[in-house]
Amino acid sequence: MSQARVFLLPDLGEGLTEAELVAWHVSVGDTIVVDQPIAEVETAKSAVEVPSPYAGIVTELHGKPGETLDVGKPLISVTPVDSGVAADDAAPAPSPDQPVVQPTETELAEPKPASAAAEAYREEEKAGSGNVLIGYGTPGGHGVARRTRAPKAALSVVEPVETKPVNTTEDDLSLLRTRVPGKLGAVISPLVRRMAREHGVDLGGLQGSGDSGLIMRRDVEAAISTPAVEPAEIRRTPVVEPVETKTADPRTGLAVSARTPVRGVRKAVAANMARSRSEIPEATVWVDVDATALMELREGLKAKGGEAPGLLAFIARFVTAGLKKYPELNTRIETAEDGSQEIVSFDGINLGFAAQTERGLVVPSVRGAEKLSARELDAEIRRLTQVARDGKATPAELGSGTFTLNNYGVFGVDGSAAIINHPEVGILGVGRIIDKPWVVNGELAVRKVTELTLTFDHRVCDGGTAGGFLRFVADAIENPTSLLADI
């Protein structure tokens, strides 16, 4: 008999060491194929499906939904199909009239040829993609789990089963095997079970009139026809519902109404923000910007019948141009074991942007953003926003940014001293665009004004560089046509 293979929770990338088990896609006893999604887990980055590298029968699930599992710990145990099940499926069970023939010692010693099913599973495992990490599952991995009989001992005697003239469904078979707790042998027929369920009869409270306490149809019918009457003395006695006692907080003296575990995305955000505050000596600069020309440009594109990019895409185009001019803000600081530090520069820009989802704040990044036009940036920002909200963004899409753009104006606020997304060295925030009095050519006018806020790591540059970058983006917003020839 083949030994069960234990599949360990794989390395989920980006330094993630744990994941919360959201749901199982298979159950014990299911037959699975290579690359079939077996579970959904939620990491600090996203919710992902884990495919199986093995084919066979699920023998054990190592964990329950809601539990946090460590990378490298058992996730699922799978027994290859040739460990008794293949033979069980290949050869029909002997009928009650046929004696069970015991194999001879020679037959036991001789290796049995592998069944076609077992050989197919072995070939399937060889041909599998091997993609057991994250993403959306792997090619060909969306098979439906198949129920199979549990593996039987090689020399077990097959007991005769009474044949029913009616068709028996899988639900009926499960009901047929149901026993009432505390009543040995009280096997209830599917008809009786169904009747009790439809009429709300508690079988556990019935005394069966059949042999060995078997609950018969007449027992259920009697329970249905006899209405439950509450005793008068109980009706007259007021029932005092127990009141849940809440623990008082020792500091405030107030009752604690709830305790919510910090895990998943919230746990990752908390750890990253705390690390950013403790390690990065940050500074913040800001400026008010007249965005009227940019708004008019976008409205003009829409009036021509074309689909105009969103404002965030335009600003993203200005940011990438600014980072080319001031590359110090598109870097990262690395600290060696001896305490020495290096500023790491990059040949390219992966522009991250903050996206609010039901799972919390995540930062997907547009890879190679400096090569994209405003329209291309708009399309990629929309795509990444959707996959992030669906919980399907990959670690590569969530953890590869080199600079972050944060549009907190959608929340109706003007400005914010944002926390840098560690290990990056800068984040640019954009406030809401509102009408404000503004001096234009010496005269007061009403203009569309927004506030830009740049928080930067003072270790990589000084105020002159940060101010120069911020002014560059502000000037581009006020005179957008100078940079948007490629829109």
| 3 state SS of 389 | helix
* Angle (nearest 5°) at CA 31 between 30 and 35: 115
User: How many residues are recorded in the chain?
Assistant: 487
Q: Comparing C-alpha atoms, which of 84, 115, 80, 65 is closest to residue 7?
A: 80
Rounded CA-CA distance 403/341 in Å is 20
Looking at 25, 62, 142, 458, which residue is catalytic?
A: 458
313-to-164, 308, 474 alpha-carbon distances in Å? 68, 10, 15
Contact 26/50 with Cβ under 8 angstroms?
no
Residue 62 among the catalytic residues = no
53-to-71, 162, 167 alpha-carbon distances in Å? 16, 40, 37
* H-only helix segments in 326-373: none
User: What backbone torsions phi and psi does residue 307 show, to the nearest 5 degrees?
Assistant: -95, 115
Q: What share of the chain is helix, strand, coil (3-state, %, to 5)?
A: 30, 20, 45
Contact 28/60 with Cβ under 8 angstroms?
yes
Rounded CA-CA distance 280/136 in Å is 35
Rounded CA-CA distance 257/159 in Å is 57
CA dihedral 133, 268, 396, 141 (to 10 degrees): 30
User: What backbone torsions phi and psi does residue 336 show, to the nearest 5 degrees?
Assistant: -80, 170
The catalytic residue positions are: 458
